[in-house]
Amino acid sequence: MSSLTVYSSSGDGYVGNTNSSHSDCKSASSGNNVDYIGTTAQVRLNNSTGPFLYYIDRLFLSFDTSSLPNDSTITSATLSIYVTSKTNGGSKAVGPMSATPASTSVLVLDDFDQVGTTLFATATNIDSLTTNAYNSF
């Protein structure tokens, strides 16, 4: 069995939504902030004390798997994310899901709701993530 390492590419980043309720944030059809050109990205699920009470930032990572032969059978995959910092997540958890952004090289506000419903690995409680290390899903 062979192994292939694929790194994420340009267009990686996040699309976020800030709103007055968690349900409005989660069900929004578009975001109100986007960043796809930085060297770091963020995932946020939180409430704040500002004029908007809730925010959700969704991380998008694109992978070029064109080097895989068409008849390949993928038996497993590991997603490793380097975590630089975290705050108390309470009962909040994160995990990899499918996404269908309009482009793999740039993110736009309308990509916010282009996240699937299938979780591809067990969600990890934010409090369980290790900082300054790779965390694998």
Report the distance separating Cα 136 and Cα 83, nearest Å: 10
DSSP class per residue in 10-73: TT-EEEEEEESSHHHHHT-SS-SEEE-SSS----EEEE-SSSS-EEEEEEE--B--TTS-TT--
Sign of CA dihedral 122, 124, 128, 129: positive
Strand partners, 57: 16, 44
pLDDT digits (tens, 9 = 90+) for 75-86: 888 888 888 888
Residue identified by tokens 């930032």 is 57
Per-residue tens of pLDDT for the chain, all 137 residues? 677 777 777 778 889 888 888 788 888 999 998 987 766 666 666 666 566 578 888 888 888 888 888 888 888 888 888 888 887 666 778 889 999 999 888 899 999 999 988 899 998 888 888 989 999 99
Report the distance separating Cα 61 and Cα 71, nearest Å: 24
- Model pLDDT, residue 38: 65
- Model pLDDT, residue 51: 63
Strand partners, 99: 115
- Model pLDDT, residue 56: 83
Please enumerate in sequence order all residues whose Cβ is within 8 A of that of 53, keeping only pairs 6 or more positions apart, or say none.
19, 20, 21, 47
Instruction: Write the CA distances from 19 to 59, 75, 79, integer angstroms.
Output: 18, 40, 30
- Model pLDDT, residue 12: 85
- Model pLDDT, residue 61: 87
DSSP class per residue in 75-109: -----EEEE------TT-EE--EEE--S-SS---G
